[in-house]
Amino acid sequence: AMAQACARVADGAISRPTASRSSVRRDHRRAVMTRALSPRSTPDPELRSRRAFIGAVLSVPTFSPASIAGAAESMDELQRSLVAAYEVQDFTAALDVLARLRRLEPKELKWIEADATISTDRKDFERALKSYDVAYEIAEGDAGAEARILNGRALAREGVYDWPNALRDYDEVLRLAESNGFAPDPYVLNSRGNVRGSLNRWDEARDDYERAGDLFQNAKGFRNGASTTQRLDGAVYAYSNRALATAQLGDEGGALRQLEALTRRAPNSADVRAAAAALYYSAGRYAEAEDAWERACSREAGCAKYKDLDYVRRIRRWPPAMVGKLEKFLELKS
């Protein structure tokens, strides 16, 4: 059992991503949670590196001795209702279904974790933290479950700007992986980089982003048919964060070179284009700045979010130096 638990650390049972709220993390979290909550589903090996917080536990419904007669059918129906509600982000309905599931199995860890996860998604971080604390007590001694829960709790702590405790949780997740002989999860490294940046520890943040990008780049198990989009999106996002941290540390030339390499690799990334525009402008390369911004705005995602400095600072979490450079560029545009 311990070997299986430790394997889940390596497989990415430590789920979710950073409170960066990036599309990479959000879309993946939704997909893997839906998969995990589906009754009688089988684990998907192509999602191993970011397996849902419940992992394979829900692949076959289990029932406690206290479950009522005919609970199997009822549990299946409730699980399907939970998946349906979560897929459309009806978090109120999802929590209502979970309350019914918990009445059937009040001590079942998977329902407590699901409550915490959905509460985080609906930004009810205080409720999420309470559920994660309960789940962590139940999971004591199960390395995989502990790592999974700590990762989720760290994200909820980010939601209330509790950076020091979020960092402690991420550190422990990575320690659990290392102590059991497994590579770190790149999503967790990227998330820890975000927290270190929020603590103004940008040199350490840059190291985390670089390690995350390298791990995404070389990761196995991300393929979906012939596609490696999820892995490559993760690498681009982590390397973009590395470039932003590099600029914050004063190496604007190095940051710009990194971003230029990323624009060739990910030409549709509005984030990379917007960051490049800010740095081009800072370097006095005004025509290139305008071109980069125009290309950012012409992408499917568009540049509207990058005109909102609160979004860039608080949600996307660019470092202060880069927010300042973007602000100066936008002043020229207004």
Tell me the C-alpha distance between 261 and 144, whole Å.
Answer: 37
User: What's residue 128's pLDDT?
Assistant: 97
Low-confidence residues of the chain: pLDDT under 50: 1-23, 28, 31-32, 34-36, 38-70, 223-227
What's the pLDDT at 45? 28
Per-residue model confidence (pLDDT) at position 165: 98
End-to-end CA distance of the chain: 61
- Residue 58: per-residue pLDDT: 41
pLDDT of amino acid 231: 79
User: What is the pTM (predicted TM-score) of this model?
Assistant: 0.79
State the pLDDT at residue 30: 54
**What is the reported pLDDT for 129?**
98
pLDDT of residue 74: 83
24-36 pLDDT per residue, tens: 555 545 544 544 4
CA distance 322 to 302: 19
At residue 183, the pLDDT reads 87
Q: Tokens 């019914």 label which residue?
A: 100
Query: Cα dihedral sign for 62, 78, 9, 219?
Result: positive
Length of the chain counted residue by residue:
334
Condensed to tens digits (0 to 9), the pLDDT of residues 154-187 reads 999 999 999 999 999 999 999 999 998 888 999 9
Query: Please, what's the b/e burial string for 42-75 (b: 16 or more CB within 10 A of its CB; e: otherwise)?
Result: ebbeebbbbbbbbbbbbbebeeeeebeeebeebb
Q: What per-residue confidence (pLDDT) applies to 22?
A: 46
The C-alpha atoms of residue 82 and residue 219 are separated, in whole angstroms, by: 31
Residue 308: the pLDDT is 97
Question: Residue 221: what pLDDT?
Answer: 53
